A and B are shown apart, each in its own frame.
Chain A
Amino acid sequence: MPERTAEIELRLLLEAIFLKYDYDFREYSLASLRRRVQQALRQLECASISELQARVLHDPAGFMQLLQYLTIPVSEMFRDPEYFRGLRQHVIPLLRTYPSLKIWVAGCSTGEEAYSMAILLREEGLLERSMIYATDINPLSLERARKGIYPLTQISGFTRSYQAAGGASTFSDYYTAAYDGALFDKSLRDHLTFADHSLATDSVFAETQLISCRNVLIYFNKQLQNRALGLFHESLCHRGFLGLGSKESLNFSSYGKQFETLLRDEKVFRKL
């Protein structure tokens, strides 16, 4: 059956990527991965996954192109505004008790979620004592995140979400518009550290009070979800907070009993 061959080719490709580049996609959800590899085949004009594998093995630039398909580099500021509203109302008051804060945005993509977090903390008067570690595996996304420039075409959507999230100020205070980009404020950037870190292969790097990992775990299979949740559990301080994407939960993981639900709909949990 041709589909069996394609499945074998896909596994070999993931193995080759792991051996050559140390990126481990072997425990990602297969359905979505399969589709994205198919898209990459069309775009990179390869007739088969085997051909793509050969290309990727011999050409790091080709791998970087493929990585843009394997990761899903899409994000928004204040995506799911009710999540940020929930943090503002129910988590921030508890974070005030800490003299200094470390926050981890895992799978930050091009940085929108991390900047949203920084804005939220600024408005609540906590940014000055905070450091936000925002991590991802896609170097191109991290580079864009560090620049902090977003297309002006997206700003009206971001502004709406900012307001819906309970924004306490005027969104345009946080950026300066230039040409077709909005450059976000340097004073936010000073509290953001963007770094390469994989939830699949790396270990914990700091003790944190809040971790936000949204729309990343859905791309992992159960084992890898558990690995990532294990890192979060280890990194969080006693009674630390974990925020997930709006359709993510701990229900099918082995960590359900080690967190309590703080906000059910907004998917905010608290370490027990």
Chain B
Amino acid sequence: MTRQAYEAVVLGASAGGVEALLYLFGALDSGGCRLPLIAVQHLPEKAQSQLAEILAARLKRPVREAEDKAPVQPGVLYVAAPGYHLSIENDRSFSLSSEAPVNFSRPSIDLLFESAAHAYGPKLIGVLLTGANEDGSAGLEQIAQYGGLTLVQEPAEAAVACMPLAALQRFSPDHVLRLRDMAELILRLEEVHAE
């Protein structure tokens, strides 16, 4: 079996997501993960504008709100800006857009995932976590169709199981994992490749 050189991790979460993200990112940081992490976390607009700050206060790695046309850089955690969709272009830079909300959400996880699937193909890891809606499952399936690795939080562990369950109903992701095991897997995949 050939190993993919993964180049980025995209993550989506909704209700209960901030805690889950903090746990996962903390574990990835401790393990020395250098992959860029790109996250959409649904929140009310005001709270969303503070997300980068909240995460930065608790994490070692640099945290930034993804800016239009900024290149994706290793070792950085990017969060989506409130009120705009976040996409990744084929040249691995970000683009924002103010199209209508998708799945009642802007930013939408599906849109980030679909564009990332195009940009990274099999070199992408997609992660769908706790949440009370169905955003992200179509995008995660697209990541799988483009050969990327798909990880879904174990519904029993998720604060709200709806989002992980929606993905499981839609297709068979590569792994259904608890957060701790998810972090371990990502670190191991990165390490295998570094060797």
Q: State whether B111 touches A35 (Cβ < 8 A).
A: yes
Task: For the complex formed, measure the closest distance between the CB of A252 and the CB atoms of chain B, giving whole angstroms.
Answer: 4
- List the B side residues contacting A32 at CB < 8 Å: 85, 87, 95, 97, 99
Q: Which of B66-74, B152-160, B164-172 contacts A (4 or more CB under 8 A)?
A: B66-74
**Cα separation A131 to B119 with both chains bound (whole Å):** 44
With contacts A32-B95, A36-B99 taken as known, whether A218 is within 8 angstroms of B88 at the C-beta atoms is no
Q: Which of A3, A215, A217, A248 is in CB contact (< 8 Å) with B118?
A: A3
Instruction: Tell me whether B133 is interfacial, beta carbon within 8 Å.
Output: no
Closest to A245 in B: B98
Closest to B69 in A: A252
Task: For the complex formed, measure the closest distance between the CB of A235 and the CB atoms of chain B, giving whole angstroms.
Answer: 22
- List the B side residues contacting A247 at CB < 8 Å: 67-68, 81, 84, 96
Q: State whether B95 touches A218 (Cβ < 8 A).
A: yes
With contacts A3-B118, A31-B88 taken as known, whether A252 is within 8 angstroms of B99 at the C-beta atoms is no
Instruction: Tell me whether B146 is interfacial, beta carbon within 8 Å.
Output: yes
- List the B side residues contacting A35 at CB < 8 Å: 99, 111, 114
- List the A side residues contacting B111 at CB < 8 Å: 31, 35
Task: For the complex formed, measure the closest distance between the CB of A187 and the CB atoms of chain B, giving whole angstroms.
Answer: 31
Tell which of B70, B90, B96, B111 has the most Cβ of chain A within 10 Å.
B96
- List the B side residues contacting A198 at CB < 8 Å: none
Query: B51-101: which have CB < 8 Å to A?
Result: 67-71, 81, 84-85, 87-90, 93, 95-100
Q: Which of A59-67, A81-89, A115-123, A219-227 contacts B (4 or more CB under 8 A)?
A: A219-227
Number of interface residues of A (CB under 8 A): 23
Instruction: Tell me whether A251 is interfacial, beta carbon within 8 Å.
Output: yes
- List the B side residues contacting A249 at CB < 8 Å: 67-68
Closest to B100 in A: A74
Q: State whether A218 touches B99 (Cβ < 8 A).
A: no
**Cα separation A130 to B69 with both chains bound (whole Å):** 34
Tell which of B89, B100, B111 has the most Cβ of chain A within 10 Å.
B89
Q: State whether A218 touches B68 (Cβ < 8 A).
A: yes
- List the A side residues contacting B87 at CB < 8 Å: 29, 31-32
- List the A side residues contacting B97 at CB < 8 Å: 29, 31-32, 72, 218-219
Q: State whether A72 touches B98 (Cβ < 8 A).
A: yes
- List the A side residues contacting B119 at CB < 8 Å: 31
Instruction: Tell me whether B130 is interfacial, beta carbon within 8 Å.
Output: no
**Cα separation A4 to B97 with both chains bound (whole Å):** 23
Instruction: Tell me whether B115 is interfacial, beta carbon within 8 Å.
Output: yes
List of 4 A-B pairs having minimum Cβ-Cβ separation, nearest first: A31-B87, A252-B69, A31-B115, A29-B95
Seed contacts A35-B111, A222-B93, A249-B68; 11 additional CB < 8 Å A-B pairs:
A30-B89, A32-B99, A34-B115, A218-B97, A221-B89, A249-B67, A251-B67, A251-B69, A251-B70, A252-B71, A253-B69
Name 26 A/B residue pairs within 8 A (Cβ), A-sorted.
Answer: A3-B118, A3-B146, A29-B97, A30-B118, A31-B89, A31-B95, A31-B97, A32-B85, A32-B95, A32-B99, A35-B99, A35-B111, A35-B114, A72-B99, A215-B98, A218-B84, A218-B96, A221-B89, A247-B84, A249-B67, A249-B68, A251-B70, A252-B67, A252-B68, A252-B71, A252-B93
Interfacial residues, chain A to chain B (CB-CB below 8 A): 3, 29-32, 34-36, 72, 74, 215, 217-219, 221-222, 225, 247-249, 251-253
